[in-house]
């Protein structure tokens, strides 16, 4: 998972901006929603374990589960990616 990056945010109604004024991947929108407390606590815990703000963690989770899944990765590719992540985390913990 990528670390958070500092970007200059543009604010204002989207319909007033020209289509090429922003990159969709880097554009953020404020969203208000209700989440079960148990879910929020778990998300915050997992985000903290990865050294990320919980909002960034949620965004990454939604991106990978909804947008990246359109690539229809094979099971082998997904397992390989998970194995690499686990290996990286084991090395991080051993330090």
C-alpha span between 18 and 6 (Å, rounded)? 23
C-alpha span between 58 and 84 (Å, rounded)? 21
Q: What is the mean pLDDT of residues 74-95?
A: 80
What is the per-residue pLDDT across 25-44, written as a single tens digit (0 to 9) for each? Answer: 777 788 899 999 999 999 99
Angle made by CA atoms 40, 66, 20, in degrees to the nearest 5: 105
Q: What is the mean pLDDT of residues 38-54?
A: 93
pTM (two decimals): 0.54
pLDDT of residue 72: 62
Please state, rounded to an integer, the average pLDDT across all residues of the chain: 78
- Using 50, 70 and 90 to split pLDDT, how confident is the model at 93? confident
DSSP secondary structure code for residue 4 in this structure: P
43: Cβ–Cβ under 8 A, 6 or more apart, which residues? 35, 54, 57, 58, 61
What are the extents of the domains in the chain? 35-94
pLDDT of residue 43: 92
């Amino acid at each position: 998972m990528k670390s958070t990056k500092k970007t200059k945010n543009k604010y204002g109604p989207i319909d007033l901006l020209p289509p090429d004024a922003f990159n969709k991947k880097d554009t953020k929108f404020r969203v208000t929603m209700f989440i079960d407390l148990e879910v929020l606590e778990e998300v915050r815990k997992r985000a903290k374990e990865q050294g990320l703000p919980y909002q960034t963690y949620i965004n990454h989770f939604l991106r990978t589960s909804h947008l990246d899944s359109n690539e229809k990765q094979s099971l082998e590719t997904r397992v390989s990616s998970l194995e690499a992540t686990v290996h990286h985390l084991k090395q991080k913990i051993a330090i």
